[in-house]
Amino acid sequence: MSKKILRGAILESALLSLIQNATDNGIYGYSILKTVKKKFGVRLGPSTLYPELRHLEKQGLIDSRWEISFRKARRQYRITPKGKNQLQKYFTEIKTVIPAFLA
């Protein structure tokens, strides 16, 4: 998948999905970067990821908190109930739009 395609609602839904599928402790930014590369074949940079995470947090779709493990402070991201609802809406819309492109 190219970086051009992975923007806007697609990027938001991909991030929300990855965060939702994380452990109960959440997922931190570097892990998200690695997972996006592995799952979608797209190498996002921190300058793309972190502003998007802040945007999702401002919308109330995710929340975060600092946790210290192995003497490192990391911001762990978790999806909120509002984020789960938005993700479901994105999936519904994407399922509607994709067949139109393939026709």
The CATH code that applies to domain 8-95 is 1.10.10.10
> Residue 18: how many CA atoms within 13 Å on its side-chain side?
23
Domain ranges of the chain: 8-95
Sheet holding 27-28, edge to edge: 27-28, 72-79, 62-69
Q: What is the pLDDT along the chain (103 residues), one digit of tens a residue?
A: 444 555 677 888 889 999 999 877 889 999 999 999 998 888 888 998 999 999 999 999 999 999 887 778 889 999 999 999 999 998 888 888 778 777 7
Radius of gyration of the chain measured on its C-alpha atoms: 14
